[in-house]
Structure 1
Amino acid sequence: MKKLDKLILGSFLGPFLLTFIVVDFILLTVNMLKYFDEIFGKGLSFWIYAELIGYFVISISPMALPLAVLLSSLMTFGNLGEHFELTAIKSSGISLLRALRPIGVFVIFLSFAAYLSNNYLVPKVNLKTFGLLYDIRMKSPALDIKAGVFYAGIPGYSIKVNEKIGEYGLKDIIIYSHAGGSSGNLNMTLADSGRMEPFFNENYMKLSLFQGINYSEERQTRGIKEKPVEFNRTSFDTNEIVFDLNNTFKLNRTAEDAWSTNRSIKNISQIKLGLDSINTLLNDKLYQNYQSTESIYPFFTRDRKFEPPVDIAERKFIDDSVRQEKFRREEALKDSLDNLKFNTSKDTGAVLTENPESRLLSTSDKDAAITSLKSVKATSSRTVKESASSMSPVKGQVENKPTSGDTAVKSEPKIVLNAPRTAPLTDKERKEIDSLVVGRGIKQSAVTMALNNSRSLKNNFSIRKTEIENYKRDYRRFQIAWYQKYTQAFACFAMFLIGAPLGAIIKKGGLGMPVLVSIIFFIIYYMLTITGEKWAKEGLTDPLFGTWFSILCLLPFGLFFVRQARKDSRLFEPDFYLSMWKSVQNRIKVLRSKAN
């Protein structure tokens, strides 16, 4: 590595580490303020908060890296330009692109490291962050009874103390007990003084009450004629109440499997599996809709099938084949395990009754089963014959009537058929049919039934449409989480293309102009990122374009700044724009003179 590369890279690393720590601290503060009321005041140890802060620092690093690269590269080349070091570099025959190379190579490696962090480290940290944050939220606040205020932190009790004496002393105590699921102030205890102190490693709290009265009343029933409820009043000199704080004020850690479906804790391979699962559910829902819709329109589907599209049918066939193969493998594995157990028990002389293959019928059992099956068939056939003989013949069926000459010999079967009517309806028949339709309200009933069916179909279609839209929205969100792992890493390089040439153009170091310009461009980048992701979530654009929208918008600015920096353009000096305006005016005058 040449001395020039060491000089430029050394002047970049210091501001980069400093700005990264500052930006990370600012984003950490913003994140902690979101959950301030939920995580503080719970009486947690320092190490719990340190663990949570460490998780937050790692999870927000992908957002802090682009801003740190932008600010540090702008400060580096601003300092080089302010101290005329960049001018000396150019005067020695070294181009600006050559001067940008050491930091550019570092930023490329940094982008690759950011991608690895987004794909492997951040998902695991997010998993632990979600679990710890949820446990802190569910934990009850620390036991802190204040004078003159009702305290309801202990489940089933409301405690009010008018005065606190020392660390454990209490005076003028009022306690409402709601233990046992009772509602209302039916159990009240008054005490002149008392002491509340923890014991057994602060897992339990003992409340000692002195000189008090306990009032207890049964709940009044709804009946007016019921007798009055029982009311008890008990006086005491000393009364002790023990509260179990083990499950109330201790932090219980939730298993990490509870967050296994969140896309923020998945790497790219797991996100692809999630996309395939969502696509399978979506395709099954669409296929079921086509199958169920066919029965809704019997008139239009009488002579043809309302079949789903080819791509949906093919996907359904593939998914069913995969399910069958998975089920077959599971059954084969189960059978192999059963055979292994059976062989092991056979070697040891034991008999496994739970093995399905060992449940074989003996010869006598088989004969008894066949005999009972024949008897059931005979009984059922006899019952069918008796029911058939008891039925009277109807029109259109075969009639068997005995002849008058011989009762033993039955006549030949005679078939009676109803000939279809070909004559049109008479005016009298039409009037009778119309009177039935109008008089009995058949037409109105038909219209009402049709309207009810239409409303029911509309509601069903709305529900199905909502389910399909939810699946599609989840699919798009998984795609956004997939592409974000690339865009957040590539944003470091895009910010370098903006910051380094801007520093060479501005030629101002320190924390003045560079900080202002960096904040402006980072706000633009953040707004464009949020806008593109929102478009992608709502389905207004493709998720790939939505996630890369901010990069595509800012990349031309970076290339433009690189071009202007190579020309030593004075973009941020008023003389540059005044000379440009004068040249435009002169050209307009020339064009007017030619026109005249």
Structure 2
Amino acid sequence: MKKLDKLILGSFIGPFLLTFLVVDFILLTVNMLKYFDEIFGKGLGFWIYMELISYFVISISPMALPLAVLLSSLMTFGNLGEHFELTAIKSSGISLIRALRPIGVFVIILAFAAYLSNNHLVPKVNLKTFSLLYDIRMKSPALDIKEGVFYDGIPGYSIKVNRKLDDVRLRDIIIYNHNEGQGNLNVTLADSGRMEPFFNDNYMRLTLYKGTNYKESRATRGISEKPVEFSRATFDENVIIFNLDAFQLSRTPEDLWSTNRAIKDISGIKKGLDSINTLVNDKVYQNYQAAESVYPFFTRERKLEPLPHIKERRAFDDSIRQVKMERERAITDSLGRIKEKQDSAKRAEVILNRPTDSISDGKNLKGNVVNSTKALANDSLFQQKRLINRGNTINKEKESENDSSKVPVLNKTVQVKKKRTTPLTSEEKARIDSIVYQQGYITNALTMAMNNSRNLKNSFDIKKAQIDTDQREYRRYQISWYQKYTQAFACFVMFLIGAPLGAIIKKGGLGMPVLISIIFFIIYYMLTISGEKWAKEGIVDPLFGTWFSNLCLLPFGLFFLKQARNDTRLFEPDFYLGIWKSLQKHLKVLGPNRI
């Protein structure tokens, strides 16, 4: 590496790290404000907050990298131009493209690292972030009973304390017990009390002094109902134990978030796309079958066949399902055979290890075996005899049937109906038409046709809404796939904009560079949001929608690079005055010709 490369790269690394930290902190603050009411005020530990913040920092880094590259490259070349170092470099015969090379190589490596982070690191971090955020949301707020206000944070109870001496001692307490779900029918009043958590803050002991408990049963509806039961009990000391499980942070298994597209890498997104495509194709195929069943008259002679690509996809999916079923069946069969072998081995081991007490037991056992074999032989002979007798009876029945079939049938007349070949007369036609109109067959047919049409339309509307939802999710998966490339490529685009602009304005620091960087980043963000929204709604292709911001800003970068090579002063009034004067000259030249 030459001294020039070290100089330029060294002047870039410092501002890049600084701006990256600043931008990451700003985006972190904006992101944390979305969940401020949900994560704060719940009595969580310091390390829980640090874990959540670290997850947020990693997940928003892909958005912070383009802005950091834009601002740091603009500041670097602005400082070089302000201190005439860039002028010295150009005067020594080194072009601007050569001066941009070290930072360009660094940005390319950074873009590749951003792609790897988007594909491998960020999905895992998003999985942990979603899981931790869900657990924090489900956690109840910290136990904080205030004076004169009913507190219902403890499930099943509503507590009011009119005076708190400290965090333990309480005065004038009212407790409504709602565990039975019957309203305010169980009330406890106490003069004073003590509130003390125990067992690692999993339970709370509330000791009440000098109070009364009022309990009333709920009245049942009826004309002649008995008076409800009412009880009143006074006490000098009463202890109530509250379960504080709702106030503890319980971690949810991360497998519950396995279907979210934000936690998938490219391979997982491709599998999700294939699954959604299969689901949509099945629904379209079912629509064809539903239409064919609703209109049997039109499909009697011909079938309502789906399109060829739908049939091919259906056959492909069925073949995959068949392969999966065969694999699962083979696994279950192999497990069953292994289990049978194990059971047979255990039975053989039990028989071999069976104890024999004496020779007499062996003889008795032998006798029993002989008797059992004789019994089995007798049973088999009996079964054979039964089968032989049954075969004889069946043969006799068949012979009797054959004999009866040979007997001629007497005194039986057979009537043969002849088909009519002559056409219907006008009277017969009028009679048939009158029957059709009088019985309402045409009206019934029209009503049935209208009902079938309505049913088919309703079914199609429902299926269309389902397919639209699935296709929208399909486009979102595509957007998540392409974002892993576009966010990395945006670093290179921002470098093409920032470095030439710094060489043009020739001002460093945090004044003009920060303003220009914010303007271009806002433009980039607006274009990104617009393109993704168009892609989600299906207005444009998801590939074009995700690359829309980069395609719009890339010409600006190339234009600024061309102007920087020509030492054009875009941000000075003299440049625009020269353009205006040249336009006036051309207008004066064209003026007489027009006359």
Under a length normalisation based on structure 1, what TM-score does the superposition of the two structures give?
0.88
Amino acid at match of 2:243: D
- Cα 1:594–1:60 shift into 2, 3 Å: same
Query: Aligned partners of 1:450 and 1:217: how far apart in 2?
Result: 63
Gap change, CA 1:350 and 1:258, over 3 Å in 2: farther
Instruction: Compare the two structures and name the one with the higher helix fraction.
Output: 2
Whether the 8 Å contact between 1:146 and 1:161 is mirrored in structure 2 is yes
Deviation of the 1:452 alpha carbon: 3.0
Given that residues 39 and 137 in structure 1 are in contact (C-alpha distance below 8 angstroms), is that contact kept between their aligned partners in structure 2?
Answer: yes
- The change in CA–CA distance for 1:437 and 1:61 in structure 2 (over 3 A counts) is same
Question: Does residue 455 of the first structure (1) align with residue 430 of the second (2)?
Answer: no
Q: Does 1:511 align with 2:519?
A: no
**Secondary structure in 2 matching 1:219:** coil
For residues 254-403 of structure 1, the aligned pairs below 5 Å read 254-350=252-348
Distance 1:443 1:287, change over 3 A: closer
Distance 1:481 1:467 in 2: 21
Distance 1:351 1:584, change over 3 A: farther
Matches of 1:93 and 1:432, distance apart in 2: 106
Whether the 8 Å CA contact 1:173–1:191 is kept in 2: the answer is yes
Q: Decide whether the 8 Å contact of 2:182 with 2:218 is kept in 1.
A: no
Counterpart of 2:62 in structure 1 is: 62
The answer to whether the Cα contact below 8 Å between 1:148 and 1:163 also exists between their aligned partners in 2 is yes
* C-alpha separation in 1, matches of 2:98 and 2:277: 48
Provide, for residues 305-341 of structure 1, a one-character-per-residue CA deviation record: whole Å limited to 9, x for no partner. Answer: 1111111111111111111112112222222232233
Alignment CA distance shift 1:458-1:474 (3 Å): same
- The residue identity in structure 1 corresponding to 2:259 is T
Question: Contact between 1:52 and 1:132, CA under 8 Å: does it hold in 2?
Answer: yes
Partner of 1:5: 5
| Whole-angstrom CA distance in 2 between matches of 1:312 and 1:318 | 10
**Residue pairs, 1:537-548, within 5 angstroms:** 537-548=536-547
Deviation at 1:350, TM superposition (A): 4.7
1:173 corresponding residue in structure 2: 173
How far off its partner does 1:420 sit?
4.1
Letter of the structure 1 residue corresponding to residue 543 of structure 2:
L
Q: What is the correspondence of 1:186-265 to structure 2 with a 5 Å cutoff?
A: 186-245=185-244, 247-265=245-263
Q: Deviations over 1:402-437 (max 9, x none)?
A: xxxxx9842456134264485546569747854873
Q: Distance in 2 between matches of 1:42 and 1:461?
A: 49
Within-5 A mapping of 1:429-448: 430=430, 434=434, 437=437, 444-448=443-447
Letter in 2 for 1:101: R
**Residue 370 of structure 2 corresponds to which residue in structure 1?**
none
Change (3 A) 1:145 1:418: farther
Query: How far apart, in 1, do the equivalents of 2:447 and 2:100 lie?
Result: 78
In angstroms, what is the RMSD of aligned CA positions?
2.7
Deviates more, 1:309-318 or 1:493-502: 309-318
TM-score by length of 2: 0.88
Kindly state the Cα deviation for residue 252 of structure 1 after the two structures are TM-superposed. Answer: 0.6
State the Cα distance separating 1:192 from its structure 2 match: 1.3
- Residues 137, 592 of structure 1: CA spacing in aligned structure 2 closer, same or farther, 3 A cutoff? same
Partner Cα distance (1:239, 1:490) in 2: 69
- The letter of the residue matching 1:593 is P
Aligned partner letter, 1:495: M
Residues 126-145 of structure 1 correspond to what in structure 2 (within 5 A)?
126-145=126-145
The residue aligned with 2:14 is 14
In the alignment, the residues of structure 1 paired with residue 423 and residue 227 of structure 2 have an alpha-carbon distance, to the nearest angstrom, of 85
> Any unmatched runs of 5+ in structure 1?
353-361, 386-406
Relative to structure 1, is the Cα distance of residues 217 and 448 closer, same or farther in structure 2, using a 3 angstrom cutoff? farther
**Aligned equivalents of 2:449, 2:287: Cα separation in 1:** 21
SS at match of 1:248: helix
CA–CA separation in structure 2 for the residues paired with 1:235 and 1:74: 79
Distance in 1 of aligned mates of 2:540 and 2:566: 38
Alpha carbons 2:148, 2:163 under 8 Å: kept: yes
Distance in 2, matches of 1:285 and 1:512, equals: 58
Q: Residue 294 of structure 2 contacts residue 452 of structure 2 at CA under 8 Å; is this kept in 1?
A: no
Q: How much has 1:221 moved relative to structure 2?
A: 1.3
Equivalent pair of 1:214/1:233 in contact (CA under 8 Å): yes
In the alignment, the residues of structure 1 paired with residue 425 and residue 35 of structure 2 have an alpha-carbon distance, to the nearest angstrom, of 81
Task: State the 1:83 CA deviation.
Answer: 1.1
Counterpart in 2 of 1:492?
A: 491
Alpha-carbon distance between aligned partners in 2 of 1:16 and 1:411, rounded to the nearest angstrom: 115
- The corresponding residue for 2:468 is 469
Separation in 2, partners of 1:503, 1:340? 73
Cα distance, 1:538 vs. partner? 1.1
- Please, which moves more after superposition, 98-107 or 192-201? 192-201
CA–CA distance in 2 between the matches of 1:212 and 1:421? 105
Assess if the C-alpha contact under 8 Å between 2:213 and 2:233 holds in 1: yes
1-structure distance, mates of 2:155, 2:340: 54
Residue of structure 1 in register with 2:569 after alignment: 570
Q: What residue in structure 2 maps to residue 30 of structure 1?
A: 30
Residue 595 of structure 1, CA deviation: 4.3
One-letter amino acid matched to 1:115: Y
**8 Å contact 1:152–1:159 — kept in the other structure?**
yes
Q: Residues 345 and 351 of structure 1 are in contact (CA less than 8 Å); yes or no, is this contact kept in structure 2?
A: no
Instruction: Please list the CA deviations of residues 166-192 of structure 1 after superposition, one character each: whole Å capped at 9, or x if unmatched.
Output: 221111111110013x13111111111
Secondary structure of the 1:232 match is strand
Within 2, Cα distance between the matches of 1:422 and 1:546? Answer: 72
User: Aligned residue for 1:554?
Assistant: 553
Q: Find the aligned partners of 1:442 and 1:538 in 2 and give their Cα distance.
A: 48
Matched with 1:357 is none
Q: Which residue of 2 aligns with 1:388?
A: none
The answer to whether the aligner puts 1:45 opposite 2:45 as a matched pair is: yes
Offset of 1:224 from its aligned partner?
2.5
Residue of structure 2 in register with 1:161 after alignment: 161
Paired amino acid for 2:228: V
- Provide the C-alpha distance between the structure 1 equivalents of 2:183 and 2:497, rounded to a whole number of angstroms: 66
Maintained 8 Å contact 2:74/2:501: yes
**C-alpha distance in structure 1 between counterparts of 2:66 and 2:589, whole Å:** 47
- Secondary structure at the aligned position of 2:574 is classed as helix
Is this contact kept in 2: 1:27–1:64, CA < 8 A? yes
Amino acid at match of 1:315: R
Read off the aligned partner of 2:107 and give its amino acid letter.
V
In structure 2, C-alpha distance between the alignment counterparts of 1:208 and 1:137, rounded to whole Å: 31
- Stretch of structure 1 that moved more, 37-46 or 413-422: 413-422
Q: Does 1:148 align with 2:148?
A: yes
Distance 2:166 2:142 in 1: 18
Once the 2 structures are TM-superposed, how far is the Cα of residue 449 of structure 1 from its aligned partner? 3.7
Greater mean deviation of Cα atoms: 21-30 or 445-454: 445-454
Opposite residue 228 of structure 1, the aligned amino acid is: P
Describe the SS at the equivalent of 1:414: coil
Distance 2:28 2:115 in 1: 21
1:95 alignment partner in structure 2: 95
Pair 591,17 (structure 1): closer, same or farther in 2 beyond 3 Å: same
Instruction: In structure 2, give the amino acid aligned to 1:231.
Output: F
Q: Which amino acid aligns with 2:97?
A: L
